[in-house]
């Protein structure tokens, strides 16, 4: 499994839709955190999106795992494969 840093912007998601989808989004994010798919999440200060570290085999699996999220259709996602500094020699 590899780690990927995601820069996620939410686009085209009006406030009413965002709020109606929020409880389901939060529940599924928690599920993905509990099963080890989402390792870390950081909300951007301007609330436009998030940075997220995801564990998956490849880019396609990143999208497959996140596609269950209600916000997914509104996500513009830039993905960069990363490795932890303490694993640099591995």
- Domains in the chain and their CATH numbers? 2-87 (3.30.70.1060)
Please state the rounded mean pLDDT for residues 7-30: 94
CA distances from 47 to 8, 15, 43, 69, 79 (A): 11, 12, 6, 18, 19
pTM of the complete model:
0.84
Cβ–Cβ under 8 Å, residues 53 and 4: yes
What residues form DSSP beta bridges with 80?
A: 5
Average pLDDT on 54-77 reads 96
CB 55 within 8 A of CB 1: yes
pLDDT value, residue 83: 83
Among candidate residues 45, 7, 5, 43, the one with its CA nearest the CA of residue 25: 43
- pLDDT, residue 88, reads 52
């Amino acid at each position: 499994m590899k780690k990927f840093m995601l820069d996620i912007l939410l686009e085209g998601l009006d406030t009413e839709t965002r709020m109606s989808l929020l409880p389901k989004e939060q529940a599924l994010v928690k599920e993905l955190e509990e099963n080890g798919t989402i390792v870390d999440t950081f909300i951007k200060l301007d609330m436009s999106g998030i940075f997220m570290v995801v564990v998956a085999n490849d880019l396609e699996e990143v999208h497959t795992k996140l596609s269950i999220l209600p916000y997914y259709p509104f996500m513009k996602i830039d993905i960069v494969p990363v490795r932890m500094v303490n694993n640099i020699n591995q």
